[in-house]
Amino acid sequence: MDRRSFLLKSGASLGLAFAMGVSSCSPGNNLYRGSSTSLGARRLPRVKLSPDRIIKETVGLRPYRLSGPRLDVEMLGQKTIVHNYGHGGSGFSLSWGTGQIAATRAAATGHQEIAVIGCGIVGLTTARLLQQMGKTVTIYAKEMFPKITSSMATGTWSPSHLLCEEEYITPEFKTMWEQACSYSFQTYQNLLGYGDLVTWMDHYIINGRAPSETPKLHIDGLLPEPKELSRREHPFKSKNVVNQPNMVFNIPSYLHHLTTDFLNFGGKVQIKEFKTLEDLDALWEDGVVNCTGLGAKALFNDEQLMPISGQLSFLIPQPEINYRLSTPHGYIIPRKDGLVLGGNAIRNNWNTTPNPEQTKTVIAAINEALVGMRS
């Protein structure tokens, strides 16, 4: 389904969502795009790519769930638990959309005081949306930035990357995903201009592979179409270069912004670990939204949940770099807190120690793409 017909068809069901303060994504207000953005640049500032410029390395664990994010509602004694976890490699991209679904379900319980468990991107966006619905919200979390998975993400628009197994993409799942994806996308457009929380930039895909999306989950027209560039339209040595502009989220300032907004609107954060369901049951709030990411595996005994690890290396920031690059063996993305190198995904890997061989592989891949570049 293309975006225009999807939006027309789903306009009614999204009415509530848009009434909560996110403006309509009607075909007429598609202002953020211009076809010329698909063209490249003949010269680009040069990345200073060298191992001695690495300032930080992380290995984050994507909360991958075989059947995709869990959003159902269950009762635990007197408490209503709304789940919102298991976003794999798409948590930043889908957070506003699944947050909207979960917050609407939690608000429908009629409870005024809501506990959100988890202070990652999913918990923070859900908590803000509940506040916008007039609820009084406390976030309870074992850990916050910078120790959580959300602090170890690349931070790009990738709404179906490592999201679920294809066999679980039912028509109902697709409808949920389209609603979440569309709502999130529009929310991010409304965050443009808030300093550098969200930016659009050219994305050069060299020799044919960007981080993969799930082909069955796609809305036409959100991103500009990928454009194959002629030799005159890009500065790289490779002949096989595609440009598709995309969004980048500056994670530290973005998480800080959400936390500050949450506190400014009267929210409270309490550091607390829930080891058992009895711990949850002891909360005084009767409405609970579970945004514990991979933590839900132990807490709710969810056998569908597993980690998919991803290693990132951060180079000293270069504010002049205004493009991202993907190659078959690694990518580089400029953020305010560094040039982020990454590109691996290891299923069922709980090991969070950076592997020097992975660092070498990504540096070599990016170096190959940059050799002979016009700058």
Contact residues toward ligand FAD (CB under 6 A) are 60, 62-63, 85, 87-93, 117-123, 141-144, 148-150, 152-156, 158, 273-274, 291-295, 299, 310, 312, 342
Compute the radius of gyration of the chain from its Cα atoms: 21
| Buried/exposed 324-353: b ≥16 CB within 10 Å, e otherwise | bbbbebbbbbbbbebbbbbbbbbeeeeeee
Cβ nearer to ligand FAD, comparing 213 with 235: 213
For the bound state, the minimum distance from the C-beta of residue 205 to ligand FAD, rounded and expressed in Å, comes to 15
Write out the DSSP string of 130-172: HHHTT-EEEEEES--TTSSGGGGS--B--TTTT---GGG--HH
For the bound state, the minimum distance from the C-beta of residue 159 to ligand FAD, rounded and expressed in Å, comes to 7
Which residues face 137 on adjacent strands? 114
**Phi and psi at residue 77, to the nearest 5°:** 60, -125
For the bound state, the minimum distance from the C-beta of residue 369 to ligand FAD, rounded and expressed in Å, comes to 19
Of 157, 152, 172, the C-alpha closest to 101 is 172
Cβ nearer to ligand FAD, comparing 117 with 369: 117
Cβ nearer to ligand FAD, comparing 121 with 164: 121
Cβ neighbours for 145, distance < 8 A, ≥ 6 positions apart: 119, 151, 252, 255, 256, 259
Cβ nearer to ligand FAD, comparing 333 with 369: 333
| Buried/exposed 166-184: b ≥16 CB within 10 Å, e otherwise | eeebeeebeebbbbbbbbb
Q: Distance between CA 165 and CA 87 in Å, rounded?
A: 12
Hey, how many other C-beta atoms are within 10 angstroms of the C-beta on 263? 12
DSSP secondary structure code for residue 223 in this structure: S
Cβ nearer to ligand FAD, comparing 60 with 97: 60
For the bound state, the minimum distance from the C-beta of residue 375 to ligand FAD, rounded and expressed in Å, comes to 26
Cβ nearer to ligand FAD, comparing 240 with 351: 351
For the bound state, the minimum distance from the C-beta of residue 83 to ligand FAD, rounded and expressed in Å, comes to 11
Cβ nearer to ligand FAD, comparing 150 with 182: 150
Hey, how many other C-beta atoms are within 10 angstroms of the C-beta on 218? 18
Cβ nearer to ligand FAD, comparing 206 with 288: 288
For the bound state, the minimum distance from the C-beta of residue 60 to ligand FAD, rounded and expressed in Å, comes to 3
Cβ nearer to ligand FAD, comparing 155 with 287: 155
For the bound state, the minimum distance from the C-beta of residue 229 to ligand FAD, rounded and expressed in Å, comes to 23
Please count the residues of the chain: 375
**Phi and psi at residue 327, to the nearest 5°:** -130, 170
For the bound state, the minimum distance from the C-beta of residue 266 to ligand FAD, rounded and expressed in Å, comes to 20
Q: Distance between CA 87 and CA 64 in Å, rounded?
A: 6
For the bound state, the minimum distance from the C-beta of residue 279 to ligand FAD, rounded and expressed in Å, comes to 8
